[in-house]
Chain A
Amino acid sequence: MTGTIQNRESFLNTIASSLGRDRHPGKIERPVWEFQPQKEVLKGATPDQLVEVLKTQCLRIHTSVVVTDQTGLAETLAETVANYGGGPVVTWKDNRFSEWGLDPLFHNEWPEQDIEYYEWDHTKGRENIRQAEKANIGITISEITLAESGTVVLFSDQDKGRTVSFLPKSLIALVPKSSLVPRMTQAAQKMRQMHLEGKQVASCVNFITGPSNSADIELNLVVGVHGPVKATYIIIDDL
């Protein structure tokens, strides 16, 4: 499906004429930038160091961090969900949940404990949004995790609904330790690389840094405005 473009030529001609020249005939090469300080941040840090940076930053963004490994994940997740008051829980549809051994928790333990569980299913249309809206907890997986800012990066697709991370009251993001990078710089490079390799960038990439908040009333910080009120990152040691 291709979109439309209206009024472009005269608009761009006006710009060129203001700049005192004709329209650019060919491709402009992006210059080699003189300054690139972003590449120096946390340069050469080990994964363990990045975990420490992430943990420290999370103290500043009202976000809990739990570190576990694959064997401990189900228990940790169960505990975190219980602490947030239980279900309803909504998750993406993602094979990694199974690979990490979460099937028994999702499909046996929670139903037994009357914790309502819903897995995103694009064939059900708007029902997904209804489920996400009434959910207490949304569970997603971070594709890239930014240590400096304490940010999880989520790529949307048909099985990974955008609203899983916005509509529920609390957000739990599973963070593979291997997804940690120093800062947004590496995420931007990766996204650009995907594009240059001909892969389509997800229609929605979310950089989420802790729970929703606002300081619009007398600059008082209110945590939880439109999005989640609470957030926990569970770091899974997969290295």
Chain B
Amino acid sequence: MAMKIGVEEFKERVGKGINDSFMRGAVAGAQDSMGTRRLSAAEELGNWEDWRSHGEEIRKHVLENLDYYLEQLSDNVAKRGGHVFFASTAEEANDYIRGVVASKNAKKVVKAKSMVTEEIHLNSCLELAGCEVIETDLGEYILQIDDHDPPSHIVVPALHKNKEQIRDVFTDKLGYQKTSKPEELAGHARETLRQDFLTADIGITGCNFAVAETGSFSLVTNEGNADLVTSLPKTQITVMGMERLVPTFEEMEVLVSLLTRSAVGQKLTSYITVLTGPREELDVDGPEEFHLVIVDNGRSKILGTEFQSVLQCIRCAACINVCPVYRHVGGHSYGSIYSGPIGAVLSPLLGGYEDYKELPYASTLCGACTEVCPVKIPLHELLHKHRQEIVEKEGKAPISEKLAMKAFGLGAASPALYKIGSKLAPAAMNPFTNGDKISNGPGPLKAWTEIREFPAPNKERFRDWFNNREKGGNQS
């Protein structure tokens, strides 16, 4: 599946993440600061729960009527002179875009950050066709010049890199000679990219929210790169996941507000650009030609299932910013461009259990993700649903676990067996017991006791104490 990154197994990826101390410091710092910002942006509204409920009702309504709204959207885009292509697969989307690039004889493409184009691996496809593709979001740009290092966060893609690493990349690849100060690094990127904006043939963007009623698109950035991508090149191609739309400007506004507050704790980001069709006849800037590519790539298989609500996602990364697992393993551990809780739910759906069977288990089901989701996706419940699918339908659970759970079903469910089992536990555990604890447990306890002590079973169970006491026995 195209969104896959790396070839290592899950455990290796996690091990690498855990040992990357810079990345972990950066992620923890980012979670702490973004978490605080998100919280205060939410709390200052005073009725955040109503906002979330409104976001949810909008997204649910659109998903239930997705065919209608996509039809309306495409009609209105065409009315304003745009060209719409519906792509069922990543290949279809890439082929179409390559076709547009070829018809314009384009040599240089500038891009604004877009997860869906990462998902379909558009860049490598265009590069193979001999086109220079330049990412213009600062974070994406850094990753791109560092030999296409994959993003580790939906909103802050280069979060795993420190400024010294970034300076080294700039020095190596761009002949940069200044310091590692973020201002100087960004200044250098500004100068280099300004020339690219001015000379590019085509601009490619993603889409935060499309508006069905008018055939419009909103792009949300802080840097202003999306504005240059859509103002200067003669041709614009916008690629959107098929679910990323709303009925009217009024709903767009609500979701943009939820997005900026949840993603970065801002009331609005510096640039929110609403585009409708190509430029007017006498306009000087803006594209002469506009193409919209609407991508399915596995999404329609999620519709109508128990997982449908995952398509409510507005890619704010609030769930990533509070996830205690992401905090310690980082984005690359997920093996997908979609990381964190949303990635753990979405990646197996789009990419299959074969590649992503561990992700649903990489969660304590602590519910932090569900609590912050601005459109109320029950993320931890969906992770649990995945586990159920893996066990019951896919049959991918390990045999030993299946046996253990079968035994659980029998043992825990039978009061008689449970009582005997718990009564015998101290004797069974005796060989491993050291005082009141077990430091080197057998079987499934081994993984526990490699890290922590396990309590030895009480000689007198609570129930025995209680029963004795009822009979007038001990009074502790």
Which residues of A line the B interface, CB within 8 A?
1-8, 10-16, 18-20, 23-24, 28, 30-31, 33-38, 40-41, 57, 61, 120, 122, 124-126, 128-129, 133, 146, 148-151, 156-158, 161-163, 166-167, 183-185, 187-189, 191-192, 195, 201-220, 222, 224-228
Q: Which of B299-307, B386-394, B455-463 contacts A (4 or more CB under 8 A)?
A: B299-307
- In the complex with contacts A19-B64, A24-B68, A133-B198, A220-B88 CB distance below 8 A: no
Q: Which of B266-274, B360-368, B465-473 contacts A (4 or more CB under 8 A)?
A: B266-274
Asked whether B282 lies within 8 Å of A207 as measured between CB atoms, the reply is no
Among A2, A128, A222, max chain B CB count under 10 A is at: A222
Interface check B280, CB cutoff 8 A: yes
Interface check B86, CB cutoff 8 A: yes
* Bound CA–CA A147/B308 (angstroms): 37
Asked whether B267 lies within 8 Å of A149 as measured between CB atoms, the reply is yes
Interface check B354, CB cutoff 8 A: no
Among A20, A133, A204, max chain B CB count under 10 A is at: A204
Among B61, B194, B300, max chain A CB count under 10 A is at: B300
- In the complex with contacts A38-B257, A213-B222, A217-B166, A15-B84 CB distance below 8 A: no
Which residues of B line the A interface, CB within 8 A?
26, 29-30, 33-34, 45, 47, 50-51, 53-54, 57-58, 61, 64-71, 74-75, 77-88, 92, 96, 136-139, 142, 156-159, 162-163, 166, 182-183, 185-186, 189-190, 193-194, 197-198, 213-214, 216, 222-225, 227-228, 230-232, 242, 247-250, 252-254, 256-257, 264, 266-280, 282-286, 290, 294, 296, 300-304
Asked whether B271 lies within 8 Å of A207 as measured between CB atoms, the reply is yes
Q: Which residues of B contact A15 (CB under 8 A)?
A: 66-67, 70, 242, 300, 303
Asked whether A166 lies within 8 Å of B158 as measured between CB atoms, the reply is no
* Bound CA–CA A189/B304 (angstroms): 32
* Bound CA–CA A183/B267 (angstroms): 10
- In the complex with contacts A16-B67, A41-B45, A122-B284, A203-B278 CB distance below 8 A: yes
Q: Which residues of B contact A120 (CB under 8 A)?
A: 284
Asked whether B268 lies within 8 Å of A217 as measured between CB atoms, the reply is no
Q: Which residues of A contact B267 (CB under 8 A)?
A: 57, 148-150, 209
- Chain A nearest CB: distance from B205 CB in Å? 13
Q: Which residues of A contact B68 (CB under 8 A)?
A: 24, 28
Q: Which residues of B contact A124 (CB under 8 A)?
A: 284
